[in-house]
């Protein structure tokens, strides 16, 4: 077989995505060819599909997109030593250079020369994926391909929650996209005392968070007296940790009000404009630790996921976050489901 079915952004416009036959990639000496079992749709893929402001600046069509997957290795390049045909793998989509200062000091997730597959180079919405061997992660065989395919967002959640210690703490999570929901679940599993969440728009996802153990989810119209309520619910102390996952500058500004003195502000949401923060009041005099989260630490966060997957209860909970499964042929239906917001993670089966 020399052709494969693939999802390609062929034109820079909202209707510019097509499912088409493309050449099967030929792995270079350092690459690995993988037959996909499952791919998962990310918020990033929705941006590319919709062709919003970010996508039009960053993406150069034609692009085979998608970056979340699990599959089996079918062929490796001549120099590849760390993986072989038959291995059950997923992949870190951030391709680090291995040479810059950050790469050398163990911060490859913020490599200065980073490329991302599915954004800068061809991705995984296809029957086969070809990625550098350095980016391959071997999965445990008893973990389902559906779960293994969502390690990109799950790794973001792991990076966020485990960048502080939530055990016994009062945590507030702002924004319940799939990663926010995963954070609710992880905080509960990590022993947080209370997990309060705020999701103004999406009741479907608020309900998912309640089922996964959120103490209380504040919805539309319930956020006016939020600061007062969070202080009451935490016996006048305020939240020990705020996880800002929404990307709304209002949520960020408000989030600092919810935090106790000496608390941790963890930021994963990406803002389309600068936010206004009273630094003296909210950070210095309040002794706040602010931590930006980007990507997944290579490979500490991947190893952490491997360990977390060994907990059957966590595995069961994480499985509930995958709400829809489609065959790859039904990509456009799957994308519509994701765009509707009436879903958790949506996966494609090959």
* Distances 126 to 121, 143, 331 between C-alpha atoms, Å: 14, 22, 11
Q: Indicate whether 318 belongs to the interface with Zn ion (CB under 5 A).
A: no
- How many residues of this chain interact with Zn ion, rule: CB under 5 A? 7
Q: Indicate whether 103 belongs to the interface with Zn ion (CB under 5 A).
A: yes
Cβ-Cβ contacts under 8 Å for 240 (sequence gap 6 or more): 166, 169, 170, 171, 260, 263, 264
Q: What is the DSSP string of 227-247?
A: HHHHHHHTTTS-EEEEEE-S-
Q: Indicate whether 152 belongs to the interface with Zn ion (CB under 5 A).
A: yes
First to last CA, the chain: 16
Catalytic annotation, pick one of 44, 134, 164, 234: 44
Rounded-to-integer distance, Cα 56 and Cα 52, Å: 6
44 is catalytic: yes
Q: Indicate whether 92 belongs to the interface with Zn ion (CB under 5 A).
A: no
Q: Indicate whether 46 belongs to the interface with Zn ion (CB under 5 A).
A: no
For residue 224, the minimal CB distance to Zn ion (Å) is 33
Q: Which of 34, 39, 111, 334 binds Zn ion (CB under 5 A)?
A: 111
Q: Indicate whether 74 belongs to the interface with Zn ion (CB under 5 A).
A: no
For residue 44, the minimal CB distance to Zn ion (Å) is 5
DSSP state letter for 134: G
- Only one of the segments 96-104, 207-215, 271-279, 320-328 lies at the binding site for Zn ion (rule: CB under 5 A); that segment is 96-104
Nearer to Zn ion, 239 or 338 (CB): 338
Q: Indicate whether 100 belongs to the interface with Zn ion (CB under 5 A).
A: yes
Nearer to Zn ion, 55 or 192 (CB): 55
Beta bridge partners of 19: 7
For residue 247, the minimal CB distance to Zn ion (Å) is 14
Rounded-to-integer distance, Cα 262 and Cα 259, Å: 8
- 147-298-308 Cα angle (round to 5): 40
Instruction: List interacting residues with Zn ion (CB under 5 A).
Output: 42, 96-97, 100, 103, 111, 152
């Amino acid at each position: 077989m020399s052709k494969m079915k693939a999802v390609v952004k062929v034109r820079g416009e909202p209707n510019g995505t097509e499912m088409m036959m493309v050449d099967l990639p030929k792995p270079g000496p350092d690459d690995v060819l993988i037959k996909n079992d499952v791919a998962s749709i990310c918020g990033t893929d929705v941006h590319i599909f919709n062709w919003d402001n970010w996508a039009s600046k960053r993406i150069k069509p034609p692009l085979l997109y998608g970056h979340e997957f699990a599959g089996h290795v079918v062929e490796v390049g001549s120099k590849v030593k760390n993986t072989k045909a038959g291995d059950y793998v997923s992949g870190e989509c951030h391709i680090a250079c291995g040479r810059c200062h950050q790469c050398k000091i163990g911060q490859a997730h913020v490599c200065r020369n980073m490329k991302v597959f599915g954004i800068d180079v061809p991705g995984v919405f296809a029957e086969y994926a070809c990625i550098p061997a350095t980016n391959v992660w071997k999965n445990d065989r008893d973990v389902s391909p559906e779960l293994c395919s969502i390690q990109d967002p799950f790794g973001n959640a792991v990076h966020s929650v485990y960048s502080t210690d939530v055990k016994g703490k009062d945590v507030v999570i702002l924004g319940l996209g799939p990663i926010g929901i995963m954070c609710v679940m992880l905080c509960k599993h990590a022993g947080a005392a209370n997990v309060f969440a705020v999701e103004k728009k999406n009741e479907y996802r608020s309900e998912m968070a309640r089922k996964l153990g959120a103490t209380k989810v504040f919805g539309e119209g319930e956020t006016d007296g939020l600061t007062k309520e969070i202080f009451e619910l935490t016996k006048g102390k305020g939240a020990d940790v705020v996880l800002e996952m929404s990307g709304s500058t209002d949520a960020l500004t408000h989030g600092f009000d919810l935090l106790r003195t000496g608390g941790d502000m963890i930021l994963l949401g990406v803002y389309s404009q600068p936010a206004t923060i009273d630094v003296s009041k909210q950070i210095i005099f309040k002794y706040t630790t602010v931590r930006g989260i980007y990507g997944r630490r290579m490979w500490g966060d991947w190893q952490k996921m491997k360990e977390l997957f060994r907990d059957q209860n966590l595995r069961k909970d994480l499985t509930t976050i995958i709400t829809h499964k489609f065959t790859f042929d039904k990509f456009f239906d799957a994308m519509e489901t994701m765009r509707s917001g009436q879903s958790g993670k949506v996966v494609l089966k090959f």
